[in-house]
Structure 1
Amino acid sequence: MPQAAFVLHRRDYQETSLLVDLLTQNSGRIRVVAKGAKRNKNPWRAVLQAFTPINIEFSGRHELKTLTLAELSGHPHVLIGNRLYSGFYLNELLQRLLPLQAEVDELFEVYCQALQQLSGERNLETILRWFEWQLLNQLGTAFDWSCDAENGEPLTRHSVSYFDPERGFLHTPHRDKATAWPSELITSLAQIDLGTDDLTQSQRKACKLIMREALALHLGSKPLRSRELFRR
């Protein structure tokens, strides 16, 4: 049975084929060989593009699968400028952090919604923070924005809080020069539905830096190539 999918990354494989990472609705992130896809007359050459909804089938029992079907299932999402770079950022996060063949039914729908929003006019920072939070939830590493990770006390019992990527928010600094965040600002983020609500400027700044720390724990020392696009 064909299933919905999006291309996360593709690269040359041997003389005429492509090695493609896909986010699929039912099989999670998979890696396939698209045999002959580099040939000019092969229809997969145009189909296997980023941000384009497709239906695919594949075969194989090992981690590296063989693509047997790839066809368009909708119109490509047209992303321009920073919204295009943001799309690459989402793809790179999924490629780097999502284990192969992990169950991601909900995350696939989140990704579809994020692409739709990137194609529109919603605040870009809010879209990215929402997606990052959904990914942390999928990885099982989400944290509480309202309580101390050690004792469960409400953060608002103290004027400032500190973020530890391995545990969450604390009332006492976990390392030298740890950033002191206003507790009221942090707990205000607990009341936000990032799927529908927009962030204020102060919330956007705080959320961006906190989510960057949280993701860095899983990304390691290798920098994200997509972030470099924003600096150019």
Structure 2
Amino acid sequence: MARRISDEPGFVLHRYDWSESSLILEVFTREHGRVALVAKGAKRPSSNFRPVLLPLQPLHVAFGGDAEIRTLKGAEWVGGQVMPTGDALLAGFYLNELLLRLLARDDPHPQLFDAYADAVAVLASKHGDALEPALRSFELLLLREIGLLPALDLETATQAPLQPEERYALVPEAGVVRASPHETRPSLRGEQWIALQGALDQPGAFTAALALTAEALGELKPQLRALLNYHCGLGTLRTRQLMMDLQTL
């Protein structure tokens, strides 16, 4: 018998046209991970789904079926926050693209879901200075959750503890490596990496990491970008390229 899931927290990551009246949705749920759902009749003007199935908005969804693409039975807006705008909206689409590229379907990540919900709340808060720290904190948590982030308080090759005053770089092919004194690539002091690892180990990891990522934005951003591009298999993500194009204009 096909299983029905009810009252499941979720966010719409992406939507595709399917027939003249229906949509295929990629939805990130708390207890069931990324799932594909068909929303039958969602494009009709009279559909109850039409005003609800928006990205970056907290929902409770109900769905059922045993096929790869299951059927959306219900969707209710939870409320509590407005839609991000401007740079924050583009940043939200960037987070969605990361999840679509790096998360396997039907692989639950409850802690990552909570971090995503926290990140979206920051994007909707209109505090522009928190935008970049929120993105960096979520990137760290995403990489850690799916097993692509090495321990940040150890040299990856030797598993030796980091020295607080030495500088280390996060390298896609090698993990955390000691930076030579004359190196020009981005790096952080050992004490910064150790503090970031401590924040990631806390129950409220996203919030704990915000202040630390804010202090290290200039050096941390290019290192995380290189690691994400390496694992996504792309030179530049679509949303990141769009951001750069808009900045050029």
Q: TM-score range by the shorter chain?
A: 0.7 to 0.9
Within 5 Å, give how 1:174-213 maps onto structure 2.
Answer: 180-182=185-187, 184=189, 186-192=190-196, 193=199, 195-196=207-208, 197-199=210-212, 203-213=216-226
| Contact 1:123/1:198 (8 A) holds in 2 | no
Other-structure match for 1:161: 168
Match status 1:152 vs 2:159: yes
- 1:128 CA drift (Å): 0.4
Give the partner amino acid of 1:208: K
Give the aligned residue type for 2:68: E
Q: Structure 2: how far apart are the matches of 1:221 and 1:100?
A: 20
Structure 1: 5+ residue runs without aligned partners? none
Helix, strand or coil for the counterpart of 2:216? helix
Kindly state the Cα deviation for residue 124 of structure 1 after the two structures are TM-superposed.
1.3
Q: CA–CA distance in 1 between the matches of 2:169 and 2:92?
A: 30
Cα deviation, residue 223, structure 1: 3.5
Cα distance in 2 between the residues matched to 1:172 and 1:230 = 31
| Structure 2 equivalent of residue 48 of structure 1 | 53
Matched, 1:104 2:105: no
Alpha-carbon distance change, 182 to 86 in structure 1, aligned in 2, over 3 angstroms = closer
Equivalents in 1 of 2:235, 2:222: separation in Å? 18
Counterpart-to-counterpart distance in 2, 1:189 and 1:155: 8
Structure 2 stretches lacking a partner, 5+ long: 1-5, 200-205
CA contact (8 A) 2:188 2:219 kept: no
Q: Which amino acid in 2 is paired with 1:136?
A: L
2:131 alignment partner, one of 116, 121, 124: 124
Q: Report the aligned-residue RMSD.
A: 2.4
Match of residue 82 from structure 1: 87
Aligned to 1:228: 241
Match 1:65 to one of 62, 70, 82: 70
**Displacement after TM superposition at 1:29 (Å):** 0.5
- 2:30 paired with 1:25: yes
Q: TM-score, normalised by structure 2?
A: 0.82
TM-score, normalised relative to structure 1: 0.87
1:93 paired residue among 93, 98, 104: 98
- Alpha-carbon distance in 2 for matches of 1:200, 1:141: 18
Identity over aligned residues, as a percent? 33
Q: Which residue of structure 1 aligns with residue 141 of structure 2?
A: 134
CA distance in 2, matches of 1:179, 1:86: 28
